[in-house]
Structure 1
Amino acid sequence: MQSKKSAGGKPTQRVIKKYPNRRLYDTDTSTYITLAEVRQLVMDSEPFVVRDAKTNEDLTRSILLQIILEAEAGGTPMFSEAALANLIRFYGHASQGFMGSYLEKNVQAFTDIQAKLTEQSKTLTPEMWSQFMNMQNPLMQGMMGNYVEQSKTMFDKMQEQMAKQTEQMLGAFLKR
């Protein structure tokens, strides 16, 4: 699936319409597509939006969650029951907004690490690859250590922001 480009050379956002019969229609290709094809758009980093055909409501998050649900149901799940239960507990909690941002930044940091490893592995000869695999454990430990440290720093900043906001809210409340 190729994306169209706007006059400025940037890819235009593809519009997928969702009909009441649960079918998805790709306005770019003028064809019905499956959830698997929408997943492929995500994998290809294609910009798209899913809209309700009647109301024009943005359903993109809902479709992305559906893709995650299917992926979790088939094969090896990414999230344990304990992790899912903990995520559920954050909904409605004062730190809900911070948790989303925290998770997003952590997933991006992990993605960046993975991209660097992939890029570096392209230049390896079979001999270098063998040496890399032999030293991978300490290297991965170092990279994951850096990732964990960045994650801890982001979490500490999040806690500081929450404390400041709580202090401001309480201060405003007590002044009344």
Structure 2
Amino acid sequence: MATKSKTEAAGARGVRVIKKYPNRRLYDTDTSSYITLAEVKALVMGNESFVVRDAKTNEDLTRSILLQIILEEETAGAPIFTEQVLANIIRFYGHAMQDFMGSYLEKNIQIFMDLQQKMAEQGGGGLNPEAWKQFMNLQSPMMQGMMGTYLEQSRTAFTQMQEQMQKNSEQMLAALGLKR
């Protein structure tokens, strides 16, 4: 019985497979055509599941392609990250808090995405970027309520992170025969 490769298995699960060739070209196996980084960004924006694999080694390159898209976006216009934020993120690499920070950022971004989705639903879903800007500048009770909810969820995520850190510390101390 023949076994499926990881790429074939990803395709069977409904995850779009994009192969990256040594010449840096990206090949979409769904459309059987080469695509650009801008088209990969469109997949992200459309919430389409995909994986980018090295055509030769089958190594998963999805993260590096996503980072490449972020780099292009950050250098193209109005960046999301200030130099200070980037420097602070870099400081977490190799730090004991690295895993916790990644988890915390992921939870907060998901909370913010959920908030944005709720706002889109309540605002009719058809708000263009300028309408969003006007809406975000409003000091309406609805906006204040949503931001209050976001802040509370963010605070909860931070509290959970602190509790997990404390639990891990206690486990480590117990493993070393030290008790708190």
Q: Which TM class, normalised by the smaller chain length?
A: 0.7 to 0.9
Question: Could you tell me how far apart the structure 2 residues matched to 1:121 and 1:45 are?
Answer: 21
Q: Identity of paired residues, percent?
A: 67
Q: Tell me which residue corresponds to 2:80.
A: 78
Query: What is the letter of the counterpart of residue 170 of structure 2?
Result: E
Query: What is the letter of the counterpart of residue 146 of structure 2?
Result: M
TM-score (ref. length: structure 2): 0.81
Runs (4+) of structure 1 exceeding 6 A deviation are none
Q: How many residues are matched?
A: 159
Question: Could you tell me how far apart the structure 2 residues matched to 1:122 and 1:155 are?
Answer: 32
SS state at 2:103 partner? helix
SS state at 1:137 partner? coil
Question: Could you tell me how far apart the structure 1 residues matched to 2:65 and 2:112 are?
Answer: 23
Question: Could you tell me how far apart the structure 1 residues matched to 2:122 and 2:155 are?
Answer: 26
Structure 2 residue ranges without an equivalent (≥5): 1-11
- 1:96 to partner: Cα distance: 0.9
- State which of 40, 45, 62 in structure 2 corresponds to 1:60: 62
Question: Could you tell me how far apart the structure 2 residues matched to 1:98 and 1:142 are?
Answer: 28
Question: Could you tell me how far apart the structure 2 residues matched to 1:123 and 1:108 are?
Answer: 18
Q: Deviations over 1:14-69 (max 9, x none)?
A: 11000011000011111110000000011111111000000000000110010001
SS state at 2:30 partner? coil
Question: Could you tell me how far apart the structure 2 residues matched to 1:12 and 1:111 are?
Answer: 23
Question: Could you tell me how far apart the structure 2 residues matched to 1:37 and 1:123 are?
Answer: 23
Query: What is the letter of the counterpart of residue 141 of structure 1?
Result: Q
1:144 has 2:124 as partner = no
Q: Tell me which residue corresponds to 1:4.
A: none
Q: Tell me which residue corresponds to 2:117.
A: 115
For the structure 1 residues 123 and 79, does the alpha-carbon distance in structure 2 shift closer, same or farther, using more than 3 Å as the test? closer
The CA RMSD measured in Å over matched residues stands at 2.2
1:167 has 2:163 as partner = no
